[in-house]
Structure 1
Amino acid sequence: MRTVLGALLAWGLIASLVCGPTAAWAADTVVILSDFGTGSTTPALCHGALAAGLPDVRVIDLSHDVPAGDPATGAVMLRRIANLPVHTIVLGLAGTGTVPPPQLVAFQTSRGFYCIGPNDGLFGWVVKQQGVFRVVEIDPAMVMPGFQGDGTDTWNLLVAAVVRFCKNDRDLLSIGRGFADSDLVTGGVSECSASRAEGDVKGIVLREVAKERVRPEGHGLGYAVLTNLSTGALRLAGLRLDEPLELEVSRGDERRVIELRYDGRSVDASDDSASADGRMRVAVLEDLLVLRPLPDFRDLLTPGASIVLRRAQ
């Protein structure tokens, strides 16, 4: 459990690790994404530790409300990273409180952004949109000698990694060792296309479904985020959420068709009920479509499956 006392001790350790000359970069911008919760004191301690090691650092809190155990939703929040200053460092602290702790990576995108955090799909959209220039697996011995790795101090290690990284002129090899970019977890992010035939909208067809996109059982999440389906793709296909729509999911000879009803409001994770007429409800998270309750076609969301969203037949 993250305690304030433990965090303060870790803060002091981080500050002692990073004493030395200021990094060559005039100002470092660090964007934090975590699952600490809005009322947690840990984000403030992160700010303090970063400021202690990097006096000119600019810290942006993107969100501290990533649902625990749900990196796919956190990945959605990073879809607009290109709007941030080039050379921004994204510090992903969501999912770092697990036991054992997750694999930790640091990488530079092909467009000049940096990501430091767990290799669990949190950076899936960033990898898909920007590509990877170089990547390392973070080595605790290089960053924070004495790191216990019990899941309670992983966030401290990542904050220390950011500071050390910046003080070493953004040399990834100063905080980790070689890692294959093909081993980065992207969470099954894939593309979708809108197609038309003889002037009639056929619908939105997903080219590939790599893996199930729902939070694991036991976490209480009442919706599934289909990361392939966006409101922009709807407009491209000539579809509207306020018209009768249906979702067809198929794999091999298996096929299921589900009618959808638009909620017209944002997602409420505590509300996992179906609509009054029994149809699955669809809402919008950022600009992605979210389905509630958990779909009964999850067993079909495996490699080789396809999804088509279209007007109800």
Structure 2
Amino acid sequence: MRPIITLTTDFGQRDPYVASMKGVILALCPDAAIVDITHDVPKFDVRAGALIMAQAAPWFPKGTVHVGVVDPGVGTARRAIVAVSERYFFVGPDNGLLMPAAMKDGLKAVYAIENRKLMLERVSRTFHGRDIFAPVAARLASGLRPEEVGPVIDDYVVPSFAEPELRESEVRGEVMYIDGFGNVITNIPEGLLAELGISDGSDLEVEVGDRVLRLKLRSAYGEAKPGELTAIIDSWGMFEVAVNLGSAAEELGARPGDKVVVRPARGGRKP
């Protein structure tokens, strides 16, 4: 099977940045199958990029190299890293972007990219995606051992949004992403809700930012009336607030980073 390299960036499609990265990859690994996960991560939004990578990565074959470039700290002291998980390699900046995906797959080790021979001859201050991440990804796809990129590190950045908090009677997390339908996607997985006895049909009290809502956890958007707010476990297994045939983000004024608290409603129905 051809080696697979995925790309997730906030570059958009109008500029030559994505094509430049692909050119570097193909020059070093001509057989690579390059898959664009997305280049429409909201600009500089590490949180959104992390969620997209974490949800897309698990569907790829073992050995896939996942490259993420949402890098507002490019050119600063932030490190370039390779994170190795049970099945994949993740290449990108040490700003938390890669960690949710790597941790979800079982993080094994993280290496700082310091081997200058693996980079392009000239490394710019503003485009490490092309000059560092792309050539390292291509070489990993061609069989480079991750230990060759540089030393193992243990002080890599793990963002707060990677770890929602389970308390005695509630789960605390945050808004990770607003999708194209206006659905408010959180970092709270179905499994944490199950530990509180929450499942389809449960009545919930949900805080999103400063709003406190009484919602039912439904198994399909269509179970709610048109225009009605509802809660659902999405196709990624994450807790989501939605409006049937509408935008929950617009109705709630929700934004990535807003706090989210979910608890069983007092006196509410449990399935």
TM-score by length of 1: 0.60
Cα distance in 2, alignment partners of residues 127 and 259 from structure 1 = 33
1:237 aligned residue (189, 192, 198) = 198
Equivalent residue letter for 1:32: L
Measured in 2, the distance between the counterparts of 1:282 and 1:99 equals 41
User: Structure 2 counterpart of 1:88, which letter?
Assistant: T
1:74 equivalent to 2:40? Answer no
> What letter matches 1:62 in structure 2?
I
Q: How many angstroms does 1:76 deviate by?
A: 1.8
Give 1:65's aligned residue: 40
Give the alignment partner of residue 147 of structure 2, picking from 169, 173, 178.
Answer: 173
* Structure 1 Cα separation of the partners of residues 40 and 235 of structure 2: 14
Deviation at 1:140, TM superposition (A): 6.3
**Secondary structure at 1:176 match in 2:** coil
**1:136 aligned to which of 111, 123, 126:** 111
Q: Which residue of 1 aligns with 2:156?
A: 183
How far apart, in 2, do the equivalents of 1:83 and 1:70 lie?
23
Instruction: Give the counterpart of 1:308 among 256, 259, 262.
Output: 262
| Change beyond 3 A, Cα 1:244–1:130 | closer
Q: CA deviation at 1:30?
A: 0.4
CA distance in 1, matches of 2:145, 2:81: 13
Give the alignment of 1:239-258 within 5 angstroms: 239=200, 245-247=204-206, 258=212
Please state if 1:116 is matched with 2:91: yes
**Sequence identity percentage:** 16
Unaligned stretches of 5+ in structure 2?
A: 242-248
Whether the aligned pair in 2 keeps the contact of 1:189 and 1:228 (CA below 8 Å) is no
Aligned partners of 1:225 and 1:90: how far apart in 2? 22
Contact 2:204–2:262, Cα closer than 8 Å, also in 1:
no
Residues 92 and 131 of structure 1, relative CA distance in 2, 3 Å threshold: same
- Cα deviation digits, residues 131-187 of structure 1 (max 9, x gap): 2222211126342343233x2x211121112123344x221233222211x524244
* Residues 32, 141 of structure 2: 8 Å contact kept: no
Alpha-carbon shift at residue 80 of structure 1 (Å): 4.3
Paired residue for 2:253? 293
User: Which residue in the other structure is 1:106 paired with?
Assistant: 82
Mapped to 2, the partners of 1:82 and 1:308 lie a distance apart of 26
Deviation at 1:193, TM superposition (A): 6.7
User: If you compute each CA radius of gyration, which structure gives the higher value, 1 or 2?
Assistant: 1
Whether contact under 8 Å (2:83, 2:102) holds in the other structure is: no
Q: CA RMSD in A?
A: 4.1
Contact map agreement 2:207 2:261 (CA 8 A) in 1? yes
Q: How many residues align?
A: 238
Equivalent in the alignment of 2:12? 37
Alpha-carbon distance in 1 for matches of 2:48, 2:71: 12
One-letter identity of the residue aligned with 1:190: E
How far the C-alpha of 1:63 sits from its partner, in A, is 0.9
- Whether contact under 8 Å (1:165, 1:175) holds in the other structure is no
Checking the alignment, whether the CA contact within 8 Å between 1:96 and 1:118 is kept in structure 2 is no
Distance 1:97 1:27, change over 3 A: farther
